[in-house]
Chains A and B, each alone.
Chain A
Amino acid sequence: MTTLLIAAAKAPVIDYKGISPLFAVAGGAVIVLMAALIRGRFAQRVLVPFLTVGALGAAIGLSIWNWHTGDSRPIVEGALAIDPLALGLSLLFYITGLATVAFAWRSRALRESGTGEFFGLMLGSIAGMTILGSAENLITLFVGIELLSIPLYVMCASDVRRETSLESGLKYLVIGSVGSATLLYGLALIYGATGHTGFAEINNAIGNSVNLTDPLLLTGIALAAAGLAFKASVAPFHAWTPDVYEGAPTPVTAFMAVATKTAAFAVILRFFLEALVSAQEQWAPALAALAVITIIVGNVGAIAQNSLKRMLAWSGVAQAGYMLAGVVVGTQLGLQATAFYLAMYLFMNLAAFGVVIARERVSEHGDGLKSLEGLGSASPLLAWPMTIAMLSLAGFPATAGFIGKFYLISAAVDGNWAWLGVMIVVGSMLSLVYYLRVIAVMWMTPLKIELPGRPRRARREVQPVAGWSPEADPRAQPEVLLVTLIMAAATIFFGIVPSPLFHLAHDVGTSISALFS
């Protein structure tokens, strides 16, 4: 009896309500894998994607059910906690997952790798992101980042008969693992300097029992920052991004570009603003330098690209630089602005990737810029979302990207980092060169009747029917078109009426109350 009591007293307190979104995603991964064992077209084409959507929908519902404002609430002792930051960014992961199901539904990668395996891995990766968003401990941080990355390596290589897909998988594995090992060594040194693995204890120790100029601590912070920069594709650790984005199946690229970047920023926000906020004067200048390098390198690199996937990869590098500026500021306003920008980034990037996927499947130019030639007159339903996405990424007024950049710049100015705000503006100006080129190709090249030939890279996904015409393209893939239109509409809607998301971002800002408001 006494031993039982002692065991009960030592067991960790688990808040099952708070952890339920994670259970929905991780349990969903297992159910999806099991259901995929059922043979037959119906199970593979309908049941498994439906279960994936169900798991993600359940996770969205449970996250909203758990929503509360204010400080974080521990759900598994000191390992995981939920607060508006974790819940709000988890919603972004789940929405990206839903969009990826639609994007991948007719893709070749799905047939090559098996429906259950593909969606099971995707749900596993999303579970890792959920853990990462609510990590309160160096150990859960590392587990989350690996649970996110390892399924993603397999998803990149899931088009197993295409050499570029395998190559991108191996490249991502090697470079991602170097990043993880660097991060691990940094975390080990931080543990060595402070003697704790919990974020709150580390923050308490820094400045009290540990000197701010302790070489062990500073080396640890530098190595951990480098490891996280690999994951968020921050320059000069970005070199893998264009290659991996180009080689991976495009639905996986869309998932990586949006969800992985959001997860990387979730952990960067949490790690630097919660565990290391006492050492802000030490890390802020270093991260500011990285942000400037990233904005310049990303925008200059994107200019010469002819592949849309590579162009979006470089643009993603540049956008990571803008968001890093929000982290550097280190105030509640900076946290709000970064979270807000991440949401905007989701809408505009998924709209752009939707168009790339729809065109890639029918055009002989694959994901090349030429595949968009004459799209304005051939299928305006695809040309408009792309136009909106490009204008929004460049930061045009009345689009979501403008409000996001405005918010980031005002946070930078407010936190006495005005020169970083200037850098964001300079970066946006540079970025017009390549974003406007895409729009010019779509609307200003004459329409050429495209013969339904076999594309150079991707095998034809949609069989041409008798009397095939360019106008028939969007109707052949209604799910991709639907997601693209929804995302483009959201980009415009939140560009004009941003207040609902402002309120959410304000809630997110309250999750770390120790920050200056």
Chain B
Amino acid sequence: MNVTWYLVLSAFIFAMGAAGVLTRRNPLVVLLCLELMLNAGNLALIAFSRMWGNADGQIFALVVMVVAACEVVVGLGIIVGIFRRRIPEDVDALSELRG
């Protein structure tokens, strides 16, 4: 199968994730959209790996999955911290820092 279709799909997922990060207000959904962006990169890597016939891209994708998991853990930890402080879970309400 042509690699173009995989690329079109991955670009679509990346754009969807980016749009979600910009427009969604719930931090949990923002984290999900970040995962979409990273996984779009994974899909592109694996498609290219198949196209070139070497394993570099697949190894890269495995490493990215580990990194993405770490990032979500830290993100959830901070969200739990915010929840404990009873700050509204809304990224637009986080506006103490401005100027």
Contacts and interface: CB of A to CB of B under 8 A. Distances in A.
Interface stretch (A152-160, A262-270, A336-344, A424-432): A152-160
A143 to B, nearest CB: 6
Nearest to A170: B78
A191 B41 contact: no
A480 B64 CA distance: 39
B27 A146 contact: no
A170 B94 contact: yes
B77 A154 contact: yes
Interface string A20-59: 0000000000000000000000000000000000000000
Contact of B60 (A157, A189, A197, A243): A197
Given A142-B64, A185-B14, A188-B44, A246 B97 contact: yes
Interface in B44-89: 44-45, 47-48, 51-52, 54, 56-57, 59-60, 63-64, 67, 70-71, 74-75, 77-79, 81-82, 85, 87
B16 interface: no
A185 B63 contact: no
Given A169-B78, A195-B54, A178 B34 contact: yes
Given A139-B59, A177-B34, A247-B96, A166 B52 contact: no
Q: Is the interface of A mostly helix, strand, loop or mixed?
A: helix
A142 B67 contact: yes
A196 interface: yes
Interface in A157-187: 157, 160-161, 163-164, 166-171, 173-174, 177-178, 180-182, 184-185, 187
Interface string B24-51: 0001001100100110110011011001
Interface in A104-141: 138-139
B37 A139 contact: no
A493 B13 CA distance: 53
Contacts of B18: 178
Contact of B87 (A166, A182, A188, A307): A166
Contacts of A178: 18, 21, 34, 37
A247 B87 CA distance: 15
A305 interface: yes
Nearest to A247: B97
Interface residues of A, number: 45
A136 B29 CA distance: 35
A150 interface: yes
A397 interface: no
A2 to B, nearest CB: 24
B56 A146 contact: no
A161 B85 contact: yes
B60 A170 contact: no
Given A166-B87, A181-B17, A157 B94 contact: no
Contacts of A305: 99
A184 B41 contact: yes
A196 B56 contact: yes
Contact of A192 (B14, B44, B77, B78): B44
B71 A146 contact: yes
A310 interface: yes
Given A139-B60, A170-B94, A185 B41 contact: yes
Nearest to B41: A184
A173 B40 contact: no
A153 B48 contact: no
B34 to A, nearest CB: 5
B92 to A, nearest CB: 12
Interface string A216-259: 00000000000000000000000000111011000000000000
A167 B44 contact: no
Contacts of A197: 56-57, 60
B97 A174 contact: no
Contacts of B48: 188, 191-192, 195
A458 B19 CA distance: 37
Contacts of A244: 97
Which one of A160, A170, A181 has the greatest number of beta carbons of chain B within 10 Å? A181
B14 A146 contact: no
A182 B14 CA distance: 9
Contacts of A166: 78, 81-82, 85, 87
Interface in A291-332: 305-307, 310
Nearest to A197: B56
A181 B17 CA distance: 10
Nearest to A157: B78
B40 A185 contact: yes
Given A161-B85, A169-B78, A191-B60, A185 B71 contact: no
Given A167-B97, A197-B60, A247-B97, A143 B30 contact: no
13 contacts: A138-B60, A139-B60, A142-B63, A143-B63, A150-B74, A169-B78, A178-B34, A181-B40, A184-B64, A185-B37, A187-B60, A195-B48, A196-B56
Given A139-B63, A177-B71, 4 more contacts: A142-B60, A164-B97, A184-B38, A192-B51
Interface of B: 7, 14, 17-18, 21, 27, 30-31, 34, 37-38, 40-41, 44-45, 47-48, 51-52, 54, 56-57, 59-60, 63-64, 67, 70-71, 74-75, 77-79, 81-82, 85, 87, 91, 94, 96-99
